[in-house]
Structure 1
């Protein structure tokens, strides 16, 4: 497998790990630093699209079916398989626990020292004022989702790149002439 595949997958897996760790940290008391800043979300989105799209393109260029991609992934070293499996499982667990306790409240914002959230309850949609504790709970739930979803997508990108790299390595090896 070429170094570009390893680098691409390593960056995707590293970003996945960081985002999933930050998502898990939202369950600790208090809020994450930089809660009010928009630049972390923008940074994640700016990094996610080129990395994910490049992974999809690499997967398409292999012209392999799902079964071949799975077999290529199974040819990777056990540590790589375990690391990607751990990332995916932790991301899924984060999403399940995040959505299981989710209410109809979302999009928290603070105006003039008062706390507001958007209520998505049917027939009662609109912005409502809530207590500080409810505001923080909604804020943490939103952060958890906004960190876990891209974390899962980065893990998927790492999987696709490593499988595509393994397929490419196998293709190159099969084209070599046999020794005489």
Structure 2
């Protein structure tokens, strides 16, 4: 496998793991100071777009079917397979638990004039509602979990795709007659 595939996959996996660690930190008391401002989410979006898009382009250029992709993944070293599987399972688990333990129908918490508001997505009560400070904290943490977990899973998916594409490329180079 070329070093570019290894670097691309490593960066994607590291960014995904870092985001999952941040998601896990949202279960500690208090809110994460990083996500209150808007720049971390903008940085995640700026990093996610080229990493994920280039991973998909690399896999698309391989023109492989699902079975061949799975076989290529199985050819990766056992530690890489285990690491990617552990990251993916923990990311899905964190996302499912975060969604289930969320604040129900409330999202997008904000403070206006010292009062706390959130958007209620219930079918019959759709709109902005006033909430308590405790609910505000819970909604804010729930929003942080989803805003960090989903890009984390996409980074992990990009790592899987690019490392598998690199393995396919290595196998293609080994099978061509000289």
Distance in 2 (CA, whole Å) between partners of 1:128 and 1:88 is: 35
Distance in 2 (CA, whole Å) between partners of 1:158 and 1:49 is: 13
Match for residue 167 of structure 1?
A: 168
Match for residue 119 of structure 1?
A: 120
Match for residue 14 of structure 1?
A: 14
- The answer to whether residue 144 in structure 2 is matched with residue 143 in structure 1 is yes
Are the counterparts in 1 of residues 35 and 41 from structure 2 also a CA contact under 8 Å? no
How many pairs align?
Answer: 177
Match for residue 38 of structure 2?
A: 38
Stretches of structure 2 that go unaligned for 5 or more consecutive residues are none
**Over aligned residue pairs, what C-alpha RMSD do you find?**
0.9
User: 1:29-70 CA distances to partner (integer Å, 9 max, x unpaired)?
Assistant: 111112320000111011111110100000010010011111
Instruction: Extract structure 1 runs of 4+ deviating beyond 6 A.
Output: none
Are the counterparts in 1 of residues 107 and 118 from structure 2 also a CA contact under 8 Å? yes
Match for residue 64 of structure 2?
A: 64
Match for residue 76 of structure 1?
A: 76
**Matched residue of 1:58: which SS?**
helix
Stretches of structure 1 that go unaligned for 5 or more consecutive residues are none
TM-score (norm 1): 0.96
**Deviation for aligned residue 1:111:** 1.5
**Deviation for aligned residue 1:89:** 0.4
